[in-house]
């Protein structure tokens, strides 16, 4: 039996319930993992609220680290006793132990702790694909990144700095802006004090940025388009403030033949080889010191509802983990 956080109905943090669940032996292509720590991410909130529907009841959690305790037939890249970390479907990481598909489970280098492994996989591989797998972003390009003091944002600030990319961040307080600058943002705009779009144009001498990376959604989408230079690329990868309303394609034409995509990490992770390559790239960044994973908050697994409340109220900085 393993303590596991499940929801039986969509709704607020009070819907999160701890239960004891049986853990089966792994079938072909699966592994059984004993978790050491679990990550907290906004996709967990979307699933809990029903924005991303699940068949209920269902366990939650998309990210964790731990040890392989059993391996099913046909799994060749992992063995019993391996240290591992993952960000993967299906949900179920908020648990002491689970069985899951092995393809997206990644060997965790000895130089990276379990806590860091649980805090970095979903957010870190999100940054990896944003900078390397959508459009060419090269040294001296300018990127506007929203929520730059969050878990994804702080990794993005460091990633950009390590590759000579000018990252302009936005955040909701002067303290969060300072944190983003400390982690590599060239500048950071407090969006509560100023309209960020005119400020971005001022910073760039009227030219605009090459790419916008927006995980906030509804509140930032429209003014973000005004921050792009002609032929610029808008990458929408989340909706923390709510889904983006329907977009008139002629708006993109009128603002300079802009390009737009709505991405999700799990499309990129679906291919085993690409997933493992993305993880290795992330691990190399961390082991080299180019990226330091900042764990801003830690909650016991049984306090997961409090963790969700903190995340939704934007009281968190960096990554948040659940301990077992």
CATH of the domain at 101: 3.90.180.10
Examine the domain organization and report whether 106 and 139 are in the same domain: no
What does the pLDDT look like over 238-286, one tens digit per residue?
988 888 999 999 999 999 999 999 999 999 999 999 999 999 999 999 9
In angstroms and rounded to an integer, the radius of gyration of the C-alpha atoms of the chain is 20
Q: Of 223, 242, 262, which one is at a domain's C-terminal end? A: 262
Is 277 contained in some domain? yes
What does the pLDDT look like over 131-163, one tens digit per residue?
999 999 999 999 999 999 988 999 999 999 999
Give the largest CA-CA distance in the chain.
Answer: 60
Examine the domain organization and report whether 38 and 24 are in the same domain: yes
Please list, in sequence order, all residues whose beta carbon lies within 8 angstroms of the beta carbon of residue 104, skipping any fewer than 6 positions away: 86, 87, 88, 89, 269, 272, 275
Q: State how far Cα 44 lies from the chain centre.
A: 11
SS3 202: helix
State how far the Cα of 43 lies from the Cα of 139, in Å rounded to an integer.
31
Is 6 contained in some domain? yes
What is the domain range of residue 246?
A: 135-262
DSSP 136-172: ---TT-EEEESSTTBHHHHHHHHHHHHTT-EEEEEES
Q: Of 237, 262, 287, which one is at a domain's C-terminal end? A: 262
Kindly provide the b/e burial profile for residues 62-93, where b requires at least 16 CB atoms within 10 angstroms of the residue's own CB: bbbbbbbbbbbeebeebeeebbbbbbbeebbb
Backbone angles phi, psi at 216, to 5 degrees: -90, -45
State how far the Cα of 273 lies from the Cα of 191, in Å rounded to an integer.
39
Return the number of other C-beta atoms located less than 10 Å from residue 182's C-beta.
14
CA dihedral 301, 306, 311, 312 (to 10 degrees): 130
SS3 298: strand
In total, the chain counts a number of residues equal to 324
Examine the domain organization and report whether 39 and 13 are in the same domain: yes
> What is the tally of structural domains in the chain?
2
Is 26 contained in some domain? yes
Reading the block at residue 217, the tokens are: 């959604």
Examine the domain organization and report whether 104 and 166 are in the same domain: no
- Per-residue pLDDT averaged across 190-196, rounded? 92
Q: Is the peptide bond before 242 cis (omega within 30 degrees of 0)?
A: no
Is 129 contained in some domain? no
Examine the domain organization and report whether 147 and 217 are in the same domain: yes
Give the model's confidence band at 3: pLDDT under 50 very low, under 70 low, under 90 confident, else very high: very high
Q: What is the pTM of this model?
A: 0.93
Examine the domain organization and report whether 154 and 247 are in the same domain: yes
Reading the block at residue 153, the tokens are: 């944002």
Examine the domain organization and report whether 47 and 7 are in the same domain: yes
Examine the domain organization and report whether 32 and 87 are in the same domain: yes
Examine the domain organization and report whether 24 and 101 are in the same domain: yes
The pLDDT score that the predictor gives to residue 239 is: 87
State how far the Cα of 95 lies from the Cα of 98, in Å rounded to an integer.
7
The pLDDT score that the predictor gives to residue 82 is: 98
Q: Of 262, 282, 314, which one is at a domain's C-terminal end? A: 262
Is 160 contained in some domain? yes
Give the helix/strand (H/E) hosting 187.
Answer: strand 187-190
Q: State how far Cα 61 lies from the chain centre.
A: 12
What does the pLDDT look like over 4-23, one tens digit per residue?
999 999 999 999 999 999 99
Confirm if 180 and 154 have CB atoms less than 8 A apart: yes
Examine the domain organization and report whether 24 and 59 are in the same domain: yes
Examine the domain organization and report whether 148 and 256 are in the same domain: yes
* CA-based nearest residue to 73, from 106, 29, 103, 104: 29
Is 128 contained in some domain? no
Return the CATH number at 251. 3.40.50.720
Examine the domain organization and report whether 107 and 147 are in the same domain: no
Residue 318, pLDDT above cutoff 90: no
Q: Is the peptide bond before 133 cis (omega within 30 degrees of 0)?
A: no
């Amino acid at each position: 039996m393993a303590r596991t956080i499940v929801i039986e109905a969509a709704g607020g943090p009070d819907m999160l319930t701890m239960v004891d669940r049986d853990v089966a032996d792994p079938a072909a292509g699966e592994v059984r993992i004993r978790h050491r720590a679990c990550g907290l991410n906004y996709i967990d909130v979307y699933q809990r609220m029903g924005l991303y529907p699940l068949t209920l009841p269902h366990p939650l959690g998309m990210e964790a680290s731990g040890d392989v305790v059993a391996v099913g037939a046909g799994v060749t890249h992992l063995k019993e006793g391996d240290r591992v970390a993952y960000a993967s479907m299906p949900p179920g990481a908020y648990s002491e132990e689970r069985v899951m598909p092995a393809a997206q489970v990644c060997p965790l280098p000895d130089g990276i702790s379990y806590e860091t492994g649980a805090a970095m996989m979903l957010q870190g591989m999100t940054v990896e694909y944003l900078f390397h797998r959508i459009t060419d972003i090269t040294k001296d390009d300018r990127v506007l990144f929203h929520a730059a003091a969050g878990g994804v944002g702080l990794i993005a600030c460091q990633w950009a700095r390590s590759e000579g990319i000018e990252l302009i961040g936005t955040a909701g307080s002067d303290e969060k802006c300072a944190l983003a600058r400390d982690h590599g943002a060239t500048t950071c705009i407090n969006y509560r004090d100023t309209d960020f779009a005119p400020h971005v144009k001022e910073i760039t001498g009227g030219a605009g940025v090459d790419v916008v990376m927006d995980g906030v959604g509804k509140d930032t989408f429209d003014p973000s388009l005004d921050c792009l230079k002609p032929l610029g690329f808008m990458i929408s990868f989340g909706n923390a403030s709510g889904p983006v309303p329907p977009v008139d394609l002629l708006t993109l034409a009128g603002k300079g033949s802009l390009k737009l995509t709505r991405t999700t990490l799990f499309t990129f992770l679906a291919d085993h080889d690409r997933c493992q390559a993305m993880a290795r790239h992330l691990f190399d960044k961390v082991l080299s010191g180019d990226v330091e994973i900042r764990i801003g908050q830690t909650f016991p697994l049984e306090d997961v509802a409090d963790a969700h409340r903190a995340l939704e109220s934007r009281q968190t900085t960096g990554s948040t983990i659940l301990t077992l």
